[in-house]
Amino acid sequence: MSAALTAPTRVHLTRWVVRLHRPALYLWTALILALAAALLWLAGPLADAAAEAWQRYNACADMGPCAYDQDAILRYKDYYEYATYAVLAVPFLVAAWSGASLIGREVENGTARLAWTQGLSPVRWLATKLALPALLVTVGTGALVALHRHAWVAGDGRIDTAKSWSDFATFYASGPVVVALALTGLVAGALIGLRRASSFGALGGGLCVTAFLWFGIHLLIPHLWSTVTKVTPMAHNVGPSGNGISVTQGVITATGARIADAHCTADTTAQCQAYYADLDAVSWFNDYHPAAHYWPLQWIATGILLAVTALLTVVTFRGLRRRTTTPEGAAV
């Protein structure tokens, strides 16, 4: 039979996935390199200059006007923000590309059907189409968050205006959560790309699913690890203390009861004192996550997102298999 035509060899799909998405590969590489360079610059010269300016400012703060490089401080602050938002945009970029270009356009133009009628199964096709980008997304995004963390550490404690670890943009941009979100975006884009016949719809759908999951994990994160409670006597009259991601704040009454969200909205201190006296409050409490909870929160959230990604992957593959295989067709 025809198998004798040429010696059987392996299917080489990977090189064609690279060839077909070559512009995206170049763009991705350029984006990662540019952002990595920017983050290194931020962590090095920019952070050093800002730290030095703060040092000078703090040294002469009590002695009237002094010379310090205010521009260096503002430059670090601005570029830090730009770089942070650029890293946070990566999952959306991946989801949009996956939905529109990687899968959606193939389904829309019918080239997916062309691929499925070659000598490989649709499942194999999808596996290769997802595995290679998943690897590149993990490596690229992973490098970015590592460098972002490096840039944040470079400013922490040296630059007074540097963001706290618990600032949400900083929290996401310098941890593995954003890598997991990029992978979720990749799979979500593919799932919708296979289901919707328009690449534009898949683009929007991929973005929506990614945004929705990000929002969900954002609501979930404070509750993923048990909080630390800090109690401050009311006499200090400074409000609850303890820096980090706060979950519940309020006052404790003389009977030991906790009243959450007991914020005084009055204008004067006297009115507020009366308000708290009315509640019979003796101290503030703050249930929060201190800096030591950074990694547990990051890794648990990452784990949840990876589990969701795995689930979406199973749904995507099962959908494709059910769509292209006859019910009796156990052999693929």
Partner 1 sequence: MTDTAIEADALAKRFGRLGRATWALRDCSFRLPAGRVCAVVGPNGAGKSTLLALAAGLTAPTGGTVTVLGTTPGAARARVGFVAQDKPLYPQLSIAETLRMGADLNPGHWDAAAAQRVVAGGDLDPKKRIRSLSGGQRTRVALALALGKRPELLLMDEPMADLDPLARHELMGVLMAQAAEHGTTIVMSSHVVAELEDSCDHLLLIGEGRVRLAGEIDELLEGHARVSAPAQSDLSPHTVIESRTTGRQVSALVRPVGTLRADWQGGTPSLEELVLSYLRNPEAPALTPAKSEEFSA
Positions that interact with partner 1 (CB under 8 A): 1-3, 5-13, 15-16, 19-20, 109-111, 113-121, 322-332
Measured from the CB of residue 108, what is the shortest distance to partner 1 in angstroms?
10
Measured from the CB of residue 4, what is the shortest distance to partner 1 in angstroms?
9
Q: Which is nearer to partner 1, 20 or 153 (CB)?
A: 20
Measured from the CB of residue 107, what is the shortest distance to partner 1 in angstroms?
10
Structure-token pair, residue 172: 């996401």
Nearest to 9 by CA among 122, 119, 128, 115: 119
Q: Which is nearer to partner 1, 67 or 330 (CB)?
A: 330
Q: Which is nearer to partner 1, 162 or 320 (CB)?
A: 320
On whether the CB atoms of residues 181 and 302 are closer than 8 A, the answer is no
Q: Which is nearer to partner 1, 105 or 230 (CB)?
A: 105
| Percentage helix, strand, coil for the chain under 3-state DSSP, each rounded to 5 | 70, 10, 25
Q: Which is nearer to partner 1, 120 or 146 (CB)?
A: 120
Measured from the CB of residue 197, what is the shortest distance to partner 1 in angstroms?
12
On whether the CB atoms of residues 84 and 170 are closer than 8 A, the answer is yes
On whether the CB atoms of residues 68 and 53 are closer than 8 A, the answer is yes
On whether the CB atoms of residues 169 and 221 are closer than 8 A, the answer is no
The C-alpha angle 86, 160, 242, rounded to 5 degrees, equals 95
The C-alpha angle 99, 212, 221, rounded to 5 degrees, equals 130
d(CA 121, CA 170): 43
Measured from the CB of residue 97, what is the shortest distance to partner 1 in angstroms?
16
Q: Which is nearer to partner 1, 150 or 321 (CB)?
A: 321
d(CA 103, CA 317): 13
Q: Which is nearer to partner 1, 198 or 324 (CB)?
A: 324
Measured over the CA atoms of residue 195, residue 198, residue 201 and residue 205, the dihedral's sign is positive
d(CA 171, CA 274): 38
| 268 burial level (CB within 10 Å; 0-12, 13-18, 19+) | exposed
